[in-house]
Structure 1
Amino acid sequence: MFKNIFSVLMAMFLLAANIQVASANSGFKDVTSFKSEIEFLTSKGIIMGYPDGTFKPDNPITRLQAVQMILREKGVTDFSNVPDPGFIDAKPGTPRYGEIAKAVQLGFINGKVNAKGQKYFDPQGFLTRAQMAKILALAYDLKGSYPIAFTDVRADHWAHDSISALAANGITAGYSDGSFKPGVNLSRQHFSAFMARYLDDKFKPAKEMFAHFIDVDQGDSILIQTPNGKTILVDGGKRSAGEKVVAYLKKAGVTSIDVVVATHPDADHIGGLINVLQSIPVKKVLDSGKVHTTETYHEFLSLIDTKNIAFEVPKTGQALSIDPALKVQVLNSGDRNASDNNENSIVLKLTYGGVSYLLTGDADVKVEEDMITKFDVKSTILKAGHHGAKTSTSQAFVNAVKPAVTILSYGKDNSYGHPTDEVVSRLKAAGSKLYSTAESGDIVVKTDGKTYSVLAKPWQGTITPAPQPPAPNPTPTPAPTPTTGDARIVSKDLAGEKVGIKNFGKANINMTGWQLVSVEGNQKYTFPDGYVLKPGATVYITSGQSAKHQPPTYLKWTTANIWNNSGDMARLFNSNGVKVSEVR
């Protein structure tokens, strides 16, 4: 009897372990995304389909499948004389033992330990995106640092360096919202994309350009990392911001700067550059040429001279050769005979593919009028002139630039009143999405030359309302006290992708604005507007391939796998953002 059961179990294990026994036919009827990558891998015999002619692209990758595919790619076929890793579920003589033991010997995967202290491999366990990142980084010795941090991968995350290395090597770019989703199971199609990108550069996404608008309080500092790895630093904020700028550059992986641009000699633009010149090698400095008698400007020039850094005053209209993938044109420079520093601001337009940036320094309305008549100033992203002062960003200029995004760099509660209401109103009326360093801190805009994303929360551009005559003694109406109710998480099925939430109170709870959070992946489900959970009722939030939407009992989150099967905390927040329930 025992032998019969054992034989059946072994047959099931063999079937599960060899799901890729179909021929390397790439015409899978269920493949729509990453088709070229999957065809490339199947042609090499690295990954295969199922016997029914499907690929099942959304199915998660198992630990055994990952081992098999990496070994195939490496051409490893000899599994004899491999040290026994000591797993209780993969012993010598059991199916696939040789492959598992070889992978452990090569050092790109290891086992787990159960509550009894026993080592096991868990061949059919799923791999998260973070786990797969570490496996690939180890298997192929991937190194490198990505210029920006994924929003859900902290610096102390156990897979941070591996995820950063994958991104630095063009194997992943994360999601458009700036996240990586480390706790989400890696699907077969995404594994195919990762592996194909490693093997052949033609599958890699287009090279990215990063524009970092560094929060330097009341001032400007912009780091540009070009598609081919060149670095441009435009201004450095005031002297007190210098240390922050240097730290930011180093965190972004900058070890040298190709071009430093001092737009004009005002202290809130060049002060921090002194720390930069003292701390990081600089190949060239572009200066407005506007002579200034301040001690800060004198120290700035002295450092350039002492370090023998190439120095140039660019001409209006000049094209700067920094990166062949990037067009950089000077729209204004210090070749004007103007007495005001702001009129001498260097203005740069940078264009990568179909995405352009207009960096205006403190250029005023006179400069804007001049640029409109001479150049095509239309740009995707505008760094508003002079921190949003009314002396810049005229209506005519906004009309000509037509910015989809405007970055306002200024200090919170500054004494200058920047940005002014009229400038903010003007930009909002033009449909430009506003971002503020005072509100969001550091702002990063990344682009592949076709699309772009801003890694910050948009600023609503709150305008100070115009004074109104006093109302005739209105009777105040007290604001209603919000009712949150007693709702709690009562069940959590990680494998089944289902979380139950029950109303323990005696009144209806309007769940509008409530959120369920997967802590491991930092993913949030927001209840639909108007959804009501009745007293004693339980609602199930479902995800994964079996997700269903049958209100009021079942609400569908997504068809993607959300919960980390190896452990994921669930948290429930009410409409006030207060955590009301938590299940580990």
Structure 2
Amino acid sequence: MNKIFSVLLTLILIISMSLPATAAQAKQVFTDVPPKHSNYNDIAYLLNKGIISADKNAYGVKDIVTREEVAVMVAKAVGLDGTKRATKFKDVPKSHANSGYIQSAVEAGIINGYTDGTFKPTAKVTRGHMAAFIARAFDLPNGTKTFKDVKKGHTAYEAVSQLAAAKITTGYEDGTFKPANNLTRAHISAFLARAVKYQENLNSSKKMKVHFLDVGQGDSIFIQAPNGKTMLIDAGTKEYGNTVVSYLKAQNVKKLDYIVATHPDADHIGGLNAVIQAFQVGEFINSGKSHTTVTYEKLLETVLSKNIRYKEPTVGETINLDSEVKTQVLAVDAKTSNTNDASIVLKLTYKNVSFLLMGDADTEVEAQISKAYNVSATVLKAGHHGSSTSSSLSFLQKVKPEAIVLSYAKDNSYGHPHKEVMANIKTIGTKAYATAETGTIVTTTNGQTYSINAKELIVPTTTPTTPTKPTGNVSSGTYVIPGAPTSFKNCTEMRKYYPSGVKSSHPAYAAARDGDKDGWACELK
């Protein structure tokens, strides 16, 4: 009997030792942070992660933190190198205890120095500064929340709204954030612990990435679905084919499950031939629009020679990219006389986040799909590189995007993005991003929140100019803009007057075609 009792007692002791401690049973590490302290769990979490250390009896919960302390804590939280090394600051020598973490945080763009060449490691940190440091360090969603003392236009607005979107902060009960208040160790511990937990939850969730590649005056979109499948939509002009190939290889792409050629214009399909030569392709999805160009013919020949499954989609059907991502064709028209209007328009919806990818579809197509489908989307890839032939105000108001991506080349001859489009974007008050200004733009989402790794485009306040009304019939290609020459040396010159191109029946088309190696590009886009 005693032996049985002894065994039972041993088992009870083992089980009790393995049970998690309650708040009352939790070990008190710091003298000023008892288990009942409101920030006990945050501080214990950071201690367990190695972000802070128990090298002092008291934590100093009410102490105001310095730039050095915040830099070190944030650097450790995101796993930066803390090895001592030379910095660019005259007040942080290599021998400084935290020179490595400070330099790493600076290199990562989390914190900056001052114009006089100093870092000022002992300077106090405000709540507004803290918000900026954390927003730069973590993959936080874009936010729109304002506080009474942090409204749009405030220097801390972007960062604070991101923290609010990630539920890292809710502000004070009176509706303020108090960005100018100094930051205590208790506060930085709470904010940082929540940020680390947010990042961990994001990393554990299945993510989708949509890359808007910088291919100059063209389009190329690469999609990585949560299940690992991939889709490439267009690849810019022929000159950008190798650029797209290199980018995909840098993303460790071995196979493309789908390639979508939205329509046969060279600035969309020109680089696809190089891509198909470089990767295994599961299915090639084409608008079906006929086009008598060498570039288009070679592309179709390559698809055929490699025995790639070929498909021409129909309006309304879905593409089996991922069971969790609804990928629907909202528009495609192989019979239209305008190649732009043949564009395959796709809407990808991953839980609560969606992407509307317009190709070069114009305002008529926008109106059609608005009537037939729910076009509201989180992110809109604007049609036709920001041309006024697309992105009508009524359409943007129906889409209600939180972000608009424009793909065009800086100082392009077409004048993209047109003032009318920029005025429409300004009117709806959404954020805009441009490949010409920031390079390739990558959006990441777990289906609930999303982030964009690009600098927002400042949309100027403009008064749209009323374009000169052409004479003649547009559909027959006989229209002429008053004051425009009747002949051109090449297509580039022609597009200065006719940004959207002209029909082959236009009186000036032949001269332009003869003077341009890709003269067919003069056709209406």
Q: Which residue of structure 2 lines up, in the alignment, with residue 237 of structure 1?
A: 236
What's the secondary structure of 2:219's corresponding residue?
A: coil
Query: 2 CA distance for matches of 1:197 and 1:434?
Result: 26
What's the secondary structure of 1:321's corresponding residue?
A: strand
1:173–1:196 distance in 2 versus 1, CA, 3 Å: closer
RMSD of the alignment, in Å? 4.6
| Deviation of 1:344 (Å) | 1.4
Query: 1 CA distance for matches of 2:98 and 2:109?
Result: 27
Q: Are residue 29 (structure 1) and residue 37 (structure 2) matched?
A: yes
Query: 1 CA distance for matches of 2:59 and 2:368?
Result: 64
AA in 1 matched with 2:441: I
1:417–1:204 distance in 2 versus 1, CA, 3 Å: closer
Q: Which residue of structure 2 lines up, in the alignment, with residue 447 of structure 1?
A: 445
Q: Which residue of structure 2 lines up, in the alignment, with residue 261 of structure 1?
A: 260
Query: 2 CA distance for matches of 1:283 and 1:51?
Result: 62
- Equivalences for residues 543-558 of structure 1 within 5 A: none
What's the secondary structure of 1:377's corresponding residue?
A: coil
Moved more, 453-462 or 314-323: 453-462
1:433–1:458 Cα contact (<8 Å) kept: yes
1:22–1:452 distance in 2 versus 1, CA, 3 Å: same
Could you tell me the TM-score, scaled by structure 1's length?
Answer: 0.51
1:226–1:391 distance in 2 versus 1, CA, 3 Å: same
Q: Give 1 or 2: higher helix fraction.
A: 2
Query: 2 CA distance for matches of 1:441 and 1:110?
Result: 32
1:279-336 alpha-carbon deviations (Å, 9 max, x no partner): 22222221111122211111111222222222221221112221233221111124x5
AA in 2 matched with 1:235: D
2:84–2:98 Cα contact (<8 Å) kept: no
Identity %: 39
What's the secondary structure of 1:322's corresponding residue?
A: strand
- Equivalences for residues 48-87 of structure 1 within 5 A: none
1:314–1:52 distance in 2 versus 1, CA, 3 Å: same
- Equivalences for residues 170-185 of structure 1 within 5 A: 173-174=138-139
Which of 336, 339, 348 is 1:338 aligned to?
Answer: 336
- Equivalences for residues 126-275 of structure 1 within 5 A: 128=101, 173-174=138-139, 204-275=203-274
What's the secondary structure of 1:418's corresponding residue?
A: coil
Q: Which residue of structure 2 lines up, in the alignment, with residue 425 of structure 1?
A: 423
Query: 1 CA distance for matches of 2:379 and 2:458?
Result: 17
Report the number of matched residues. Answer: 353
Query: 2 CA distance for matches of 1:348 and 1:62?
Result: 44
AA in 2 matched with 1:312: K
Q: Which residue of structure 1 lines up, in the alignment, with residue 10 of structure 2?
A: none
Structure 1: gaps spanning 5 or more residues: 1-18, 67-107, 114-121, 133-148, 154-171, 180-185, 468-584
Query: 1 CA distance for matches of 2:71 and 2:464?
Result: 59
1:217–1:410 Cα contact (<8 Å) kept: yes
Query: 2 CA distance for matches of 1:62 and 1:462?
Result: 39
Q: Give 1 or 2: higher strand fraction.
A: 1
| Deviation of 1:20 (Å) | 7.7
| Deviation of 1:248 (Å) | 1.9
1:440–1:456 Cα contact (<8 Å) kept: yes
Query: 2 CA distance for matches of 1:36 and 1:331?
Result: 51
Q: Which residue of structure 2 lines up, in the alignment, with residue 368 of structure 1?
A: 366
Query: 1 CA distance for matches of 2:61 and 2:249?
Result: 43
AA in 2 matched with 1:264: H
2:138–2:195 Cα contact (<8 Å) kept: no
Q: Which residue of structure 1 lines up, in the alignment, with residue 398 of structure 2?
A: 400
1:29–1:53 Cα contact (<8 Å) kept: no
- Equivalences for residues 554-573 of structure 1 within 5 A: none
2:423–2:463 Cα contact (<8 Å) kept: no
Q: Which residue of structure 2 lines up, in the alignment, with residue 11 of structure 1?
A: none
Q: Which residue of structure 2 lines up, in the alignment, with residue 350 of structure 1?
A: 348
2:29–2:57 Cα contact (<8 Å) kept: yes
Query: 1 CA distance for matches of 2:44 and 2:223?
Result: 32
AA in 2 matched with 1:251: A
Query: 1 CA distance for matches of 2:461 and 2:196?
Result: 50
What's the secondary structure of 1:340's corresponding residue?
A: coil
1:130–1:275 distance in 2 versus 1, CA, 3 Å: farther
1:408–1:437 Cα contact (<8 Å) kept: yes
Q: Are residue 318 (structure 1) and residue 326 (structure 2) matched?
A: no
1:26–1:39 Cα contact (<8 Å) kept: no
AA in 2 matched with 1:369: A
What's the secondary structure of 2:323's corresponding residue?
A: coil
Structure 2: gaps spanning 5 or more residues: 1-26, 87-94, 112-136, 143-157, 160-184, 466-525
AA in 1 matched with 2:437: E
Query: 1 CA distance for matches of 2:223 and 2:361?
Result: 20
Q: Which residue of structure 2 lines up, in the alignment, with residue 289 of structure 1?
A: 288
| Deviation of 1:272 (Å) | 0.9
AA in 1 matched with 2:448: K
Query: 1 CA distance for matches of 2:310 and 2:104?
Result: 48
AA in 2 matched with 1:233: L
1:36–1:273 distance in 2 versus 1, CA, 3 Å: farther
1:318–1:50 distance in 2 versus 1, CA, 3 Å: farther
| Deviation of 1:400 (Å) | 1.2
| Deviation of 1:413 (Å) | 2.3
